[in-house]
A and B are shown apart, each in its own frame.
Chain A
Amino acid sequence: MNKIKYVIIDSKDNCGTALDKIPQDAKVDLVNKTIKINNVIPLGHKFAIMNIKKGSYIIKYGEVIGVSTEDISEGDWIHTHNIRSSYLKVKNDG
């Protein structure tokens, strides 16, 4: 099986980013644990590497990129459906 390609940019991050499409149910080896991916993660999209409660910060680059709008489980796809900007009021439907 091909190794799953992803990057966690900063040690403080609570999400990883797929460097290739990650299939649902794939196992991703992190430094200290293995997690199961709950959705298809397209290239460039993020997945949670730990459980994140509703209203918590999403951390990437070691900085806050947004806040969760619902409980997010380890392995869940993270995008506009479950996080929002914590800085600007923006339309998020593209």
Chain B
Amino acid sequence: MMDEGFLGYFRSNGKVGIRNKIVVISSVVCANTVARRVAEKIDNAIAITHPHGCGQSGRNFSNTFNILAGLGSNPNVYGALVIGLGCENLFSIDLADKIRESKKPVESFNIQDVKGGTIGAIEKGIDICKGFDKEAKELKREFFNFSHITLGLECGGSDATSGLTANPTLGIVSDKLVNLGGTSILPEFAEWGGAVHLLSKRAINEEVAEKIKEPFKRFSGENRSPGNIAGGLSTPEEKSLGNIAKAGKSPIQGVIKYTEKPGEINGLWLMIEPGLDVVSMTALAAAGANIIVFTTGRGTPFGSPVAPVIKICGNPKTCEYMANNFDIDASKIITNNKTIEDISVLLWKKLKDVCNGEKTISETLGFEEDIGFWGG
């Protein structure tokens, strides 16, 4: 049954991609422009650049390294080229080795090691990526079931409509995916504060429940602003439920930290990370999400370098003003008497289409290059 699966790209490590991208990753800020110049010459290539790679230590260093490695290892990536400068402390060869653990084609070099300066380095990078591109184009999509999909559940630019329209709509779709054997990841732990007791009840065992409660031994659960209360959120429970509605009602299999990936058991996972939109989306893609659904009320434009991002908005005014930034208009729940279930059918269809290769709006617009890190 076509409804129960999608056409994706098989990877040697057993994962399945819904895109077949080539990524050109700078290991240090100094290599950013070379990485971009290489990527712009290759079909399906994208540069992953950032302001780090030198002068970082401790957790900031390991976060940069692990996030870049995670993005390069994402199942939507066919092959990765890592370009360093040559004197930084985040070695391009170490990053390439880490990405190579995902068993995909990976190459690396440093600009200082190429005779010919940056012109020579760009040419060398283009040659390597042309090789990847030729191989990638020979790979054909095959049929897989939804157990190979990992969905990132993100929201940002939220408003009073989010918890009433787009978030519960996504919850239905996430539950459907989980029921078909797939995986969802809910980030933004700070938003769970008023519903920790409800989330921990959904944990598959006591150990997972403790991991959900643990961060809140240090943080207050009250997460509402005065504006939230004026907008009708009467209790912290209500605010948090509006946020975690994105994750439906599925049992919680485990809790991962920032830069970690879900374990072997599919299903709903929680991720501890700060909840800044671009940081969260980057962390989801680095955790192996091959698709992200982003719910919004006030609107937001960006995508992700490796995971297609489906935008769904519930605010009628935003849906009018930023119509060409959204894949799904959930404001019809407000304006057209559509139900949450009605819109969830559209969102599930869109998710399937995007898995099969249909471009999301942020992909079509090319809003894919922004990434962010926790700390810095």
Contact = CB atoms under 8 A, between A and B. Distances in A.
Given A7-B333, A64-B237, A79 B242 contact: no
B236 A88 contact: yes
Interface stretch (B102-110, B222-230, B273-281, B299-307): B222-230
A32 interface: no
A67 to B, nearest CB: 9
Most buried by A among B164, B229, B231: B164
A17 B239 CA distance: 13
Nearest to B231: A44
Nearest to B168: A9
B160 A44 contact: yes
B235 A83 contact: yes
Nearest to B198: A63
Interface in B156-180: 160-161, 164-165, 168
A38 B197 CA distance: 33
Contacts of A87: 194-195, 197, 221, 235-237
Contacts of A90: 222, 235-236
A58 B238 CA distance: 10
A21 to B, nearest CB: 11
Interface in B170-204: 194-195, 197-198
A86 interface: yes
A39 interface: no
A19 B241 contact: no
A88 B222 contact: yes
A39 B46 CA distance: 55
Contacts of B241: 60-61, 63, 65
Contacts of A45: 231-232
Contacts of A18: 232
Interface string A67-86: 00000000000111001111
B96 interface: no
B29 interface: no
B234 interface: yes
A19 B337 CA distance: 10
A88 B231 CA distance: 20
Contacts of B242: 61
A5 interface: yes
A3 B294 CA distance: 30
Most buried by A among B220, B226, B234, B334: B234
B238 A66 contact: yes
B95 to A, nearest CB: 42
B236 A85 contact: yes
A66 B198 contact: no
Most buried by A among B222, B226, B238: B238
A30 interface: no
Interface string B314-339: 00000000000000000001100100
B164 A63 contact: no
B375 to A, nearest CB: 29
B298 to A, nearest CB: 14
Contacts of B249: 62
A58 B221 CA distance: 19
Contacts of B229: 80, 92, 94
Interface in B337-362: 337, 340
A66 to B, nearest CB: 4
A15 to B, nearest CB: 10
27 contacts: A7-B164, A7-B333, A9-B164, A9-B245, A43-B160, A44-B161, A44-B231, A44-B232, A44-B233, A45-B232, A46-B234, A58-B234, A61-B242, A63-B195, A64-B237, A66-B235, A66-B237, A66-B238, A83-B235, A84-B235, A85-B194, A85-B237, A86-B235, A88-B220, A88-B221, A88-B235, A90-B235
Interface of B: 160-161, 164-165, 168, 194-195, 197-198, 220-222, 226, 229-238, 241-242, 245, 249, 333-334, 337, 340
Given A63-B241, A65-B238, 13 more contacts: A43-B232, A44-B161, A45-B232, A58-B234, A63-B237, A65-B241, A79-B232, A80-B229, A80-B234, A83-B235, A87-B194, A87-B221, A92-B229
Closest 9 CB pairs of A and B: A44-B232, A44-B160, A45-B232, A94-B226, A85-B235, A66-B235, A65-B238, A61-B241, A94-B229
